[in-house]
């Protein structure tokens, strides 16, 4: 299972599942990722420590 926010692989059952109001299901490896995406509305692409940011940087 992959974290929706940081892109890190994690074992199902250890992370968190979040169902958005539009019925989209998001998976988070930790409360840190959940907080950043849900509460702080941060974009993975613009957040330094995510895989999305690293990929974007290489291009
Ligand atoms: Zn994560």
pLDDT tens track, the chain, 59 positions: 999 999 999 998 999 999 999 999 999 999 999 999 999 999 999 999 999 999 988 76
Distance CA(2)–CA(58), nearest Å, equals: 21
**CA-based angle 42:45:50, to the nearest 5?**
85
Find all residues with CB under 8 Å of 4, minimum gap 6, and list them. Answer: 26, 27, 28, 33, 37, 44
CA–centroid distance, residue 4 to ligand 1 (Å): 7
How is residue 59 annotated by DSSP? -
CA–centroid distance, residue 10 to ligand 1 (Å): 8
Q: How high is the pLDDT of residue 56?
A: 87
CA–centroid distance, residue 6 to ligand 1 (Å): 4
> Which CATH number applies to 16-58?
2.30.170
């Amino acid at each position: 299972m992959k974290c929706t926010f940081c892109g890190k692989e994690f074992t199902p059952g250890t992370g968190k599942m979040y169902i958005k109001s539009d019925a989209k299901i998001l998976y988070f490896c930790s409360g840190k990722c959940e907080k950043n995406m849900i509460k702080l509305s941060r974009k993975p692409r613009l957040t330094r420590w995510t895989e999305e940011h690293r990929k974007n940087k290489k291009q």
